[in-house]
Amino acid sequence: MNFSLIVPELLTACLAMFLVVLDLLLPGKETRRSLGYLAVFGLLGILAVLLGQQEASGAFYVNLYTVDGYAVFLKALFLLAVALTLLFSFDLIERLPRYSGEFYALIVFSVLGMMLMASANDLITLIVGMGVMNISFYILVGYHFRDMRSSEAGAKYLILSAASTAVLLYGASLVYGYTGSVQFVKIFQAVDPSPAMLGGMAMLVIGLGFKIAAVPFHMWSPDIYEGAPLPVTALLAMCSKVAAFAVLLRLLIQALPALADGWVAIAALLAVLSMIAGNVIAMNQHNIKRLLAYSSIAQAGYLLCGLVAADQAGVKGILFYSLLYVFANVGAFAVITVVKLHSGSEDMAAFAGLSQKSPFLAVVMTVSLLSMAGIPPMAGFAGKLYLFLAVVERGYLWLALLGFVMSMISVYYYLLVAKVMYWGEPADGRRLEVGSSLKWAAALSLIATLLLGVYPGPLADAAAWAAASLF
């Protein structure tokens, strides 16, 4: 076993456990912010180690855990996304009733689960990684135990996620029972379009469809997004979704390509339903977190277009767009955090007059939302362009046209938020307090969103390199 391949995972596990121990030793709650900074710098340090190993590749423990460019790209995305999320969340986490130290440790444990999912090369490792991530999120969603919405969201997420995991496990058992193996390579060698395999594949897609919040498996996301603490909502929108896509792509492309006719049709159907339902329902939302929840459903539909392409260009588009989506979400949720701390509300009315109180935050929010809509020169335009070009090259012009129309519809409800920020009258004249760490997170997301929109070449090349390792 080449342990050098799993150094980032070992360091992440050590960081999470060190945060737990250090939390016990720190004398008072006022020192808990230091745990947050330790978590951020620890994750960035692990990211540096990971990037230093980007040329390394191989399998760990009889080919059950693989390290390749695809896994490295996704792990870097998870580490960066969580570090930026923590950076804008310090003030909000300090207001938790208690146990703010454990909050940081649980978030780092969730990163470990995502990293395991990115490198999983068999069904058991996939399920173990998903379990580590899910258990962390079960606790984090209901962490604000004095808030009834948070407690309700935690209970709903636990029950619905457990049900989807049961379906996933049953599908995995059918695949194992038919092929006699849990390893993707051996499944690939033994698979054929029999009823048992088609049933197993369908159940695997259903189980993972819940994690990516694709219609009709999306029923959990609006309530959970609204009730969960803001940092957790951000991570569910970004990292949990991308982690599910990570295993879905590796499973379907490397283990089940013989059933491509079946899962491509399913992916196309889910993409259509998600883009239409997510965008149409979002137009009638007044709570900004619920609006972003339905927007996230639509974003899952755009990402599924890359899966429909089922080739290197499609995977490149998914990876490229996923990182752009991270930066856009960081900017949006950073602004929502400030408004939440200032007004205590997440309704759209709370954003009235934000441009008068903080022109910088209003710009960050506007750019982030327009990037999600795919408006040039924001980075989201380049991301959607890669996804839609991939499906057009495979003969799915109608799907790309539908995605374009739905993107234009999304501009409507995103601009409603901008209208409130720039033309609404502020409810009070109180000064808007913005922490320095939150300013850094918002500024980095703004710069990345604009820079990658104008100059996407290096990131596109990195995404292409990562996608090539999957085939």
Per-residue pLDDT for the chain (471 aa), expressed as one digit of tens each? 788 888 999 999 999 999 988 888 877 655 667 888 899 999 999 999 999 887 777 877 877 888 888 999 999 999 999 999 999 888 888 777 666 678 889 999 999 999 999 999 999 999 999 999 999 999 988 887 777 888 888 888 999 989 999 999 999 999 999 888 889 888 888 888 888 888 999 999 999 999 898 989 888 888 888 888 888 999 998 889 999 999 999 999 988 888 888 899 999 999 999 999 999 999 988 889 899 999 999 999 999 999 999 889 999 999 999 999 999 999 999 999 998 888 878 888 888 888 888 889 999 999 999 999 989 888 889 999 999 999 999 989 999 999 999 999 999 999 999 999 998 887 776 777 787 888 999 999 999 999 999 999 999 999 999 999 888
Q: Rounded to whole angstroms, how far apart are CA atoms 459 and 442?
A: 20
How far is Cα 36 from Cα 29, in angstroms, rounded to an integer? 12
**3-class SS at 97?**
coil
| Structure-block tokens of residue 453 | 């929109």
Residue-level pLDDT at 268: 94
User: Each residue of 86-123: pLDDT tens digit?
Assistant: 998 888 887 776 666 788 899 999 999 999 999 999 99
- Please give the helix or strand (H or E) that residue 67 lies within, else none: strand 65-67
Distance separating alpha carbons of residues 302 and 403, to the nearest angstrom: 7
Q: How many CB atoms lie within 10 A of CB 146?
A: 9
> What is the length of the chain?
471
Strand, coil or helix: what is 120? strand
The domain spans of the chain are: 7-468
Spatial separation of the C-alpha atoms in residues 370 and 377, rounded to whole Å: 9
- The contacts of residue 201 (CB under 8 Å, 6+ apart) are 171, 175, 256, 259, 262, 263
Residues 6+ apart with CB under 8 A from 133: 110, 113, 114, 117, 240, 243
| Stated pTM of the model | 0.94
- CA 158 – CA 151 distance, rounded (Å): 11
Structure tokens at 347: 């309704």
Which residues are within 8 A (CB) of 378 and not within 5 positions of it... i.e. 6 or more apart?
328, 367, 370, 371, 449, 450, 453
